Amino acid sequence: MTTNENLTMPAIARERLERLQAHNARIGVIGLGYVGLPLTLLLCGAGFKVTGFDIDEKKIADLQAGRSYIFRIGSDEIQQAREKGFQATADFSHISEQDAIILCVPTPLTEHREPDVSFIEKTAKSVAPWLREGQLVVLESSTYPGTTEELMIPILLDGSASGLEVQGRGPVLDKGVFYVAFSPEREDPGNMTVARKDIPKVVGGHDPIATELAATLYEAIFIKSIRVSSTRVAEMTKLLENIYRCVNIALVNELKVLSLRMGVDIWEVIDAAATKPFGFQPFYPGPGLGGHCIPIDPFYLSWKAREYDFHTRFIELAGEVNGAMPEYVVQTVGQALNRHKKALNGSRILMLGMAYKKDIDDLRESPSLTIIELLRREGAEVLYNDPFFPTVGRGRHYNLNMTCTPLERLEQYDCVLIVTDHSDYDYKEIVRSAQLVVDSRNATKGIVSDKIVRC
């Protein structure tokens, strides 16, 4: 879809559109984490008056004091936003003051690998009593197609204290209306190549007016908006993007295991294939998937597909392959120690890197958590070093309660295991000092040593 300049709008919607175009609308962002806080800063930088909402009182206190709690966002950026009028609060009554509200709340999985949409439900219930006529509500959380229409809109309608109706559900008679859209976040923590503002924003409204309002909002801070025909199309777009990555990472993970058995360097193979100027995009193997999207989003679609009596075999196979990688890493460590005439049981292992990818302070779904638990189960003593995490509390299934170990005297460990290839590490020195290095990220590329075992 493209901009519809001839779209007929009620007066209140036209007024909202003009305020968004002039960058003087009031915007509320709910959820001030890795998605919501960067979005907030972009909005502040464009001149909007922004109020951030979160249930974490510590985050609110930090932001009100001008402090950042995300590594790649400096406190100076928070202070600059504060000077432009940014406020953070846990008081949802301020929702009524906003022209647009953007929900950036988590959508994890349950223990049974099913969607946990409780954050969306709770947030919608908190927003509903404060809705007023003409407001725009945008959901950004990654989720299954139909969430906006089937889950969020009914909650907003049921809880509306003003008896509002949502635009796009047929005749509204004399009721006031609000507008609803979905626009998937495309945040990529640690990406220093593509600026946030240069990432196009996909927008799908519950009706054409909502699409236009949301697209106009995002065009104030992103290079362009990609208008699609519905919230379901926008929801499915996000899942396709992440399933595409999940499946291709599974492919190279499987080829990695085969290539190592064949004595072939899979990373060299990928680099060579990447020189083809068409028909190939490089993906790289690793110790398992992490982050807030790729390990989770495919299962949202698999779950929803069952409602339509459809089995997503490709998705589930990719999940199986990627999910087996932490176990493969642990097996490789055991085999490497065995060649040094040592048992995994009782060995001291220093794991380098806890974050799910290099140079970020994000632990969500990190394979490192699973690897630690598996190593401990085998009787190993596991310590870790990560410049972004002085401590680590909760693991996958129980509390790890670990403290960062200084990167010194590496010869005292039976094995140094590289799980996250942070740029700060001196890999030549690590190999020189350690007895044994197991590398799951190809961080030691170009270093020749019989101490290195790649997996």
pLDDT digits over 55-111, tens only?
999 999 999 999 999 988 999 999 999 999 999 999 999 999 999 999 999 999 888
Annotated catalytic residue 293? yes
Is residue 383 predicted with pLDDT exceeding 90?
yes
pLDDT category of residue 279 using cuts at 50, 70 and 90: very high
State mean pLDDT over 384-405.
93
The CATH number, out of the four listed (3.30.1490.20, 3.30.70.120, 3.40.50.720, 1.10.10.10), of the domain defined by the range 11-232:
3.40.50.720
**Mean pLDDT across the chain:** 94
Helix/strand/coil for 13: helix
Which pLDDT value is given to residue 1? 44
Is residue 162 predicted with pLDDT exceeding 80?
no
State mean pLDDT over 351-380.
96
What are the residue boundaries of the structural domains of the chain, listed by start? Answer: 11-232, 286-454
State mean pLDDT over 403-411.
96
In whole angstroms, give the CA distance from residue 113 to residue 262.
34
Is residue 119 predicted with pLDDT exceeding 90?
yes
Residue 177 CB partners (closer than 8 Å, separation 6+): 10, 133, 134, 164, 165, 166, 167
Residue 222 CB partners (closer than 8 Å, separation 6+): 42, 196, 197, 198, 199, 200, 201
* Residue from 119, 126, 56, 139 nearest 90 by CA: 56
Which pLDDT value is given to residue 189? 78
Residue that has been written with the tokens 């899979």 in this structure: 266
Q: Catalytic residue among 293, 404, 415, 455, which?
A: 293
Low-confidence winner among 67-76, 187-196, 319-328, 353-362 (lowest mean pLDDT): 187-196
| CA distances (Å), origin 62, targets 87, 101, 265, 268, 388 | 11, 22, 47, 45, 18
Is residue 323 predicted with pLDDT exceeding 90?
yes
Which pLDDT value is given to residue 175? 67
Question: Beta strands 391-394 and 399-403: pairing type?
Answer: antiparallel
Which pLDDT value is given to residue 171? 56
Which pLDDT value is given to residue 117? 96
State mean pLDDT over 13-42.
96
State mean pLDDT over 140-154.
97
Strand order across the 452-454 sheet: 381-385, 348-352, 415-418, 437-439, 452-454
- CATH 3.40.50.720, applies to 286-454: yes
Is residue 172 predicted with pLDDT exceeding 60?
no
pLDDT tens digits along 211-262: 999 999 999 999 999 999 999 999 999 999 999 999 999 999 999 999 999 9
Query: Which of the two residues, 194 and 331, has the higher pLDDT score?
Result: 331
Low-confidence winner among 57-71, 173-187, 214-228, 364-378 (lowest mean pLDDT): 173-187
- Check: pTM over 0.75? Answer yes or no: yes
| CA distances (Å), origin 403, targets 125, 290, 337, 360, 386 | 38, 21, 25, 18, 10
The answer to whether 11-232 and 286-454 have equal CATH topology is yes
Question: Beta strands 201-205 and 165-166: pairing type?
Answer: unpaired
Which pLDDT value is given to residue 174? 55
Contact present, 419 and 368 (Cβ < 8 Å) = yes
State which of 7-11, 23-27, 185-189 shows the largest mean pLDDT.
Answer: 23-27
Residue 111 CB partners (closer than 8 Å, separation 6+): none
